[in-house]
Amino acid sequence: MWQVGVWEPEEPVSPLLVELAEGAGCLVRACCAPHPTWNTPLDLLVVAPHGPRAVCLPRCRAALVPGDVAPPQCSAPPPIWVSYGCASRNTLTLSSLTAQSAAVAVQREFPHLGGGVVERQELVLPYSGPAPLPFLAQVGTALLLGLLP
């Protein structure tokens, strides 16, 4: 069972991720503290949009972070570091968005927790909300868990 930590001090995304992870053998733990700690090692840490900027992340195998979060300076970054946001420098971006669909661009390949690789691609997915950044966090989580191609 994968341990997923969600750090959401300002904007909750864990309800979206709990729904996503229910069938994937994951346990999602949310934290809104300024300096989060989890009692178990995390496989995946998801930092919610508008979360902390200069951070000392808890140990994890993979981190999914907003594009303006710099890698941690107090410890080694996790082996898998995936950023999401609107800038082309982010690993995951939105290339188009309508009321019914969103095109998510994977700008660089990265490994997922199951051992495979997420290739550069554009995924056209159904979209009816939430806001774009929480949606990218949801898609990024699904990709890192190996739930999307």
Percent of the chain with pLDDT over 70: 88
Both structure tokens of 47:
């930092």
Instruction: Identify the CA nearest to 64 among candidates 106, 1, 101.
Output: 106
pLDDT value of position 73: 64
On the CB side of 10, CA atoms within 13 Å amount to: 10
pLDDT value of position 80: 94
Give the whole-angstrom CA distance, residue 90 versus residue 149. Answer: 19
Residue 54 confidence class, pLDDT cut points 50, 70, 90: low
Tell me the pLDDT tens digit for each residue of 1-50. 889 888 876 666 667 677 777 767 788 888 877 777 777 889 999 988 87
The answer to whether the beta carbons of residues 68 and 53 sit under 8 Å apart is yes
Residue with tokens 């991720």: 17
Q: pTM, whole model, 2 decimals?
A: 0.89
